């Protein structure tokens, strides 16, 4: 038995992926703080090279 009409499948896929993007970004960035940080020292060093 088909639960959803075929025509709403593409919207559903986009919706699910969008929710994934939001929650995964939230979790990784704001909760796990897994962001590669570039500090001034690094950029100063690279400039001097």
Partner 1 sequence: MDFSFLIPRGLDLVCTDGAPSVFGILDPSIAPLFLYYSYVPIIFVALLFGLGVFLASHASLVSRLFLWIAITFSVLIAGEILLWIAVPVYLIHFAWQLTALWHILLVVLIAHFAYVFIRDEKMPIRWQWILVILVAPVLALIPSTLNLAGFDIENCESISGMLWTYIYEVEISVALVILAFCVLEFRARIGHADRGSALILGIGICIFWVAFILSNLIGDVTLVYNINLVGPVGMVVLLATLAFLIVRYHAFNLRIFGAQALIISLFALLFAALFIEASTVRYVIAGTLLLVAALGTVLVRSVRKEIQQKEEIELQEKELEIANKQQESLLHFISHEIKGYLAKSAAAFASISDGDYGAVPAPLKTMSDAALVDVRRGVDTVMDILDASNLKKGTVAFAKKSFDLSKLLSELVTELQPTATAKGLVLEFKDSSGGGCVINGDEEKIRRHVFRNVIDNSIKYTPKGKVSVEISKHNSLIRTTIADTGVGITPEDKMNLFTEGGHGKDSLKINVHSTGYGLFIAKQITEAHGGKIWAESDGEGKGSRFIIELPAGSNAA
Kindly state whether residue 45 participates in binding partner 1, applying the rule CB under 8 A: no
Kindly state whether residue 2 participates in binding partner 1, applying the rule CB under 8 A: no
Distance of alpha carbon 16 from alpha carbon 28, whole angstroms: 18
Residue 48 beta carbon to partner 1: minimum distance, rounded to whole angstroms: 14
- Virtual torsion, Cα 24, 29, 32, 34, nearest 10 deg: 110
Query: Which residues between 10 and 39 bind partner 1 (CB under 8 A)?
Result: 10-11, 13-14, 17-18, 20-22, 24-31, 33, 35-39
Contact status, residue 12 vs residue 4, Cβ threshold 8 Å: yes
Applying CB under 8 A, among 1, 2, 3, 40 the residue interacting with partner 1 is 40
């Amino acid at each position: 038995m088909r639960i959803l009409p075929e025509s709403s499948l593409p919207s559903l896929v986009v919706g699910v992926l969008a929710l994934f993007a939001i929650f995964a970004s939230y979790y990784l960035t704001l909760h796990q703080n897994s962001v590669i940080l570039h500090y001034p020292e690094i950029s100063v060093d690279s400039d001097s090279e």
